[in-house]
Amino acid sequence: MDKFVIHGGYHLEGTVSVSGAKNSTLALMPATLLANGVYHLFNTPHLRDVKTMSDLLHTMGVEVSLNDHVLRIDTRGIQKFEAPYELVKKMRASIYVLGPLVGRFGEAKVSLPGGCAWGPRPVNLHIEGIRKLGATVELDAGYIVARAQRLHGARILFDISSVGATGNVLMAAVLAKGTTLIENAAQEPEIVQLAEFLVSMGAKIHGIGTGRLEVEGVDELHPADVTTIPDRIETGTFLIAGALAGKKHGVVRVEQCNPQHVGALLVKLEDAGASISVGDNWIEIVPPEEIRPVNVTTAIYPGFPTDMQAQWIALMTRSTGTSVITDTIYYDRFMHVPELQRLGANITMKDNIATVVGVPKLIGATVMSTDLRASASLILAGLVAEGTTEVLRVYHIDRGYESVEKKLQLLGARIERVEYDEFG
């Protein structure tokens, strides 16, 4: 297993580039199941989750190879319509194969994802949506088993705006007979990209980027190529690194990003005292003299993303006052809090609300990664903690950040990846 060893207190400055978006790639890959042929996904990040999705498609007979950020997918050999527990338990986004499989082949057997480190994450909206399109869906020995002759259009209203359920139902609806209306659809940039990709494959979708998607089913789709959008969470994580650990009057420049996708974060960073400049595909941040306390409540896009909540708490541990951070999307997503406390952070929890009282310094310690974004917050805290911080189990961060330590080294951070034996 690998850990990160971070020597804190070295200020960051310089330029870093953002990779393709994990959550876009994980939606685009299953969409290729909808038509036979060869696809190229450019700007694909080298991530553990992308490898897991590749393995999953491979078990179905799909050929997948990743070279120099170009993912080539050949779906001509698809012959199996099943997502086994061994892969779904590694990555919940595996559920994305349900919609395309049942939509195109009329059958799918997908393991139920089960729980997650940050509490229950139900898939009821995915199942209800697929049912409304005419599939029979049963639960059998831990698996979702869906069958249909041909799906038909339907009116679907999601009680909660869900990224995954919107993507899944959209992929099922594009080959259905008739028109499907999805109300309260997710509007996240990754769903916009998925919808645009489906259109480039021949799908008919109206209202892309709004909460009301109208899909006119077509009989057949064809393969297409696509360039993955920049990862907005990686973008945000580097910006927070700049705000927290940037050199006095120095600049951290984040390149190959889409500033429009991180609007909420930019406002909050300015509220915290950072100076921000923005271009077409870059953002520069000059850290504040003193980090002002800023409250944050997570919300669906374009609100403040739950995927940035842990990193924001890391920033607030060093603010000059008290801030309140509320996660309205995932109530239990606070596994990073006890670990940040081990570094000396002053945080109290009540339900889904963290109250953070800024402290003058954090002190390095050994801490444990528990999930992807929690790991990012621990690295951020380690960058400013006095002495040495060891972040164990970094396989979590490898799920969603490509070579994070190398990118931080480019900014001047003292961070190294070291192999260790956890049970040794």
Q: Please identify every residue annotated as catalytic.
A: 116
Find the shortest distance in angstroms from Cβ 127 to ligand UD1: 7
Instruction: Please give the residues from 168 up to 207 whose contact with ligand UD1 meets the rule CB under 6 A.
Output: 190
353: enclosing H helix or E strand? strand 353-357
Among 4, 12, 18, 23, binds ligand UD1 (CB under 6 A): 23
Residue 424's Cβ-side half-sphere holds a number of Cα atoms within 13 Å equal to 5
Q: How far apart are CA 23 and CA 303, in angstroms?
A: 17
Angle at 191 between CA 171 and CA 373, to 5 degrees: 120
Does position 93 interact with ligand UD1 (CB under 6 A)? The reply is yes
Does position 228 interact with ligand UD1 (CB under 6 A)? The reply is no
Chain mean position to CA 364:
28
Among 28, 56, 97, 125, binds ligand UD1 (CB under 6 A): 125
Other beta carbons within 10 angstroms of residue 371's beta carbon come to: 19
Q: How far apart are CA 400 and CA 89, in angstroms?
A: 16
Does position 306 interact with ligand UD1 (CB under 6 A)? The reply is yes
Is 130:98 a contact under the CB 8 Å cutoff? yes
Among 121, 147, 150, 417, binds ligand UD1 (CB under 6 A): 121
**Is 139 exposed, middle or buried (CB count within 10 Å of its CB: 0-12, 13-18, 19+)?**
exposed
Find the shortest distance in angstroms from Cβ 93 to ligand UD1: 4
Question: Which lies closer to ligand UD1 via its Cβ, residue 236 or residue 305?
Answer: 305
**Is 423 exposed, middle or buried (CB count within 10 Å of its CB: 0-12, 13-18, 19+)?**
exposed
Does position 307 interact with ligand UD1 (CB under 6 A)? The reply is yes
Q: How far apart are CA 51 and CA 381, in angstroms?
A: 28
Residue in this structure with the two tokens 């960058």, named with its chain if needed? 383
Does position 89 interact with ligand UD1 (CB under 6 A)? The reply is no
Among 59, 65, 124, 210, binds ligand UD1 (CB under 6 A): 124
Binding segment (CB under 6 A) for ligand UD1, from list 123-131, 272-280, 344-352, 356-364:
123-131
Among 48, 126, 253, 399, binds ligand UD1 (CB under 6 A): 126
State both tokens at 27.
């939606």
| Helices 189-200, 22-31: crossing angle, 10 deg rounding | 30
Does position 122 interact with ligand UD1 (CB under 6 A)? The reply is yes
Instruction: Please give the residues from 318 up to 337 whose contact with ligand UD1 meets the rule CB under 6 A.
Output: 329-330
Question: Which lies closer to ligand UD1 via its Cβ, residue 226 or residue 413?
Answer: 226
Does position 58 interact with ligand UD1 (CB under 6 A)? The reply is no
Question: Which lies closer to ligand UD1 via its Cβ, residue 212 or residue 361?
Answer: 212
Is 133:139 a contact under the CB 8 Å cutoff? no
**Is 188 exposed, middle or buried (CB count within 10 Å of its CB: 0-12, 13-18, 19+)?**
buried
Other beta carbons within 10 angstroms of residue 120's beta carbon come to: 10
User: With CB under 6 A, what is the number of residues at the site for ligand UD1?
Assistant: 20
Chain mean position to CA 20:
11
Among 54, 162, 311, 319, binds ligand UD1 (CB under 6 A): 162
Find the shortest distance in angstroms from Cβ 161 to ligand UD1: 7
Among 160, 267, 349, 418, binds ligand UD1 (CB under 6 A): 160
Find the shortest distance in angstroms from Cβ 220 to ligand UD1: 27
Does position 102 interact with ligand UD1 (CB under 6 A)? The reply is no
* Positions that interact with ligand UD1 (CB under 6 A): 23, 26, 93, 121-126, 160, 162-165, 190, 305-307, 329-330
